[in-house]
């Protein structure tokens, strides 16, 4: 499946910085994950998830992430990062983040992050809060959400 920006309801742009590059003269791999992290927080805010979480009650924990690097970016450039939910399970949901280069007009990386609801007061993971599911449904298209629930 080829991803495009049209596949994402939530996007954010970042300029590259000269300091993002490493000794191989391309954007360092860690920078892609930082862009994904910021896009993820913007997505959480759109879900009405409390991102100013103070450690009481239920919050989210990054349980796992990966990143496939497709094309090396250099500075100067502008990236557009799209983020969407790709799976909802009883006790977690998975986000897919895609990074696109404006200069090269192409996808440069794809990342997945498994987010686990965790009750910090009780020190244990918990089921997906219904308000999180409702927030995801609000962001994503109705057709997308129906297909996800049917799978």
Q: What is the DSSP string of 75-97?
A: SS-EEEEEEEEEEEETTEEEEEE
Query: Is it the case that residue 145 has pLDDT exceeding 70?
Result: no
Reported pTM: 0.88
Share of the chain above pLDDT 90, in %: 79
Kindly indicate whether the domain formed by 5-150 is annotated with CATH number 3.10.580.10: no
- At 54, the pLDDT band (50, 70, 90 cuts) reads low
pLDDT in the model for residue 52:
63
pLDDT band at residue 22, thresholds of 50, 70 and 90? very high
* pLDDT of 117 above 60: yes
Are 58 and 126 in contact, with CB atoms under 8 Å apart? Answer: yes
Whether the predicted pLDDT of 120 surpasses 60: yes
Q: Per-residue pLDDT for 74 more than 90?
A: yes
């Amino acid at each position: 499946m080829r991803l495009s920006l049209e596949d994402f309801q939530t996007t954010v742009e970042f300029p590259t910085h000269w300091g993002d590059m490493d000794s191989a003269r391309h954007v360092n791999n860690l920078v892609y994950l930082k862009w994904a992290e910021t896009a993820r927080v913007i997505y959480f805010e759109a879900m009405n998830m409390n991102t100013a979480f103070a450690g009481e009650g239920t919050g989210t924990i990054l349980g796992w992430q990966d990143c496939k690097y497709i094309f090396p970016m250099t500075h100067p450039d502008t990236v557009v990062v799209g983020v969407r939910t790709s799976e909802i399970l009883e006790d977690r949901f998975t986000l897919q983040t895609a990074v696109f280069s404006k200069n090269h007009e192409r996808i440069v990386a794809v990342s997945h992050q498994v987010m686990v609801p965790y009750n910090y007061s009780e020190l244990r993971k918990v089921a997906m809060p219904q308000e999180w599911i409702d927030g995801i449904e609000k962001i994503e298209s109705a057709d997308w959400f129906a297909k996800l629930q049917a799978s």
